[in-house]
Structure 1
């Protein structure tokens, strides 16, 4: 049986190949570590009478990374991010948030930030990037808020 460190060192390219084939471009170090652990587990489980280790290792690494991706997607769908930054609308920007539309009664159930975002996106037709740039907020923050707003609206309208 090979030394585990040597095996992992020799198969780093295999792990990178799996990550590349799965088109993973974020958190690569995390998935490299998942691949290393999967490789170590494959070494523990491998039965030499059943075939070639290289294919067994490749499939073990691939499915471990797929499981990790699936788990990460599941968590991100159900997590509620707590954000430090708050949308502050000063008096110069107040004209922006005023709405000319007559909104349904569910509109009043939204907080001020959600109302602001809804007006900016759908009445003023600004993109998420434009909102982030105009109000000096993080693009990802506005994107998450938009997703939560849409989820809340689905809940209100059902």
Structure 2
């Protein structure tokens, strides 16, 4: 309550302070101007984030990596001081933090993908109708997959799942002609193995 008899309530939601005058039913928001400036500073680093994404050759989930980069910028700007930076400029410090965070995220996703890719055998057995006792057939299929590169293997497994060339191209982010090249190359390699 102030000197005029008005009752005020102060709500602190992290950096945003809202004061409400209950008597007049008027609301005055005092949003920290530094927050808006901070958001603008994060937006200034978006070209740097995009550059790092390109440098790391990220082709999938670029929006997710942009968000990872924004969070890295936020953390870097929040923790930046001349002593912690050890002589680096703010821009160099932020770049290093973004780059390190992106590499960490790529490793995390790669680790997850490697754990999930163990199901390739399940996909092969399911699509070929092989039973658990067909170890010879599964061994041959595994050898065949070993001769294919990553994209050719992706084409084969998605084709076995019933996807078309156009659907594979859309899912992988490559052109239809690229997927057709994978198909042609995979068929040539598999044909050479068959005899």
Could you say which TM-score interval applies, normalised by the shorter chain? 0.5 to 0.7
**Aligned partners of 2:158, 2:112: CA distance in 1, in Å?**
25
What is the SS of the residue equivalent to 1:108? coil
Deviation at 1:109, TM superposition (A): 4.7
Q: 1:47 to 1:131 in 2, by over 3 A?
A: closer
Deviation at 1:28, TM superposition (A): 0.6
**Aligned partners of 2:74, 2:103: CA distance in 1, in Å?**
17
**Which residues in structure 2 correspond to 1:4-153 (within 5 Å)?**
4-49=38-83, 50-79=87-116, 87=127, 108-110=133-135, 114=138, 117=141, 121=144, 129=155, 133=159, 137-138=162-163
TM-score, structure 2 as length reference: 0.47
For the Cα contact (< 8 Å) 2:42–2:70, is it kept in 1? Answer: yes
TM-score, structure 1 as length reference: 0.56
User: What RMSD in Å do the two structures reach over aligned CA positions?
Assistant: 4.0
Deviation at 1:48, TM superposition (A): 3.1
CA deviation vs aligned residue, 1:89-122 (integer Å, no higher than 9, x gap): 7xxxxxxx9xxxxxxxxx835498x489569x48
**Aligned partners of 2:46, 2:82: CA distance in 1, in Å?**
22
Larger strand percent: 2
For the Cα contact (< 8 Å) 2:127–2:161, is it kept in 1? Answer: no
Deviation at 1:131, TM superposition (A): 7.5
Q: 1:21 to 1:78 in 2, by over 3 A?
A: same
Gaps of 5+ in 1: 90-96, 98-106, 141-158
**Aligned partners of 1:115, 1:77: CA distance in 2, in Å?**
20
**Aligned partners of 1:132, 1:29: CA distance in 2, in Å?**
24
Bigger radius of gyration, 1 or 2?
Answer: 2
**Count of residue pairs brought into register by the alignment:** 118
Which of structure 1's runs of 4+ aligned residues deviate more than 6 A? none
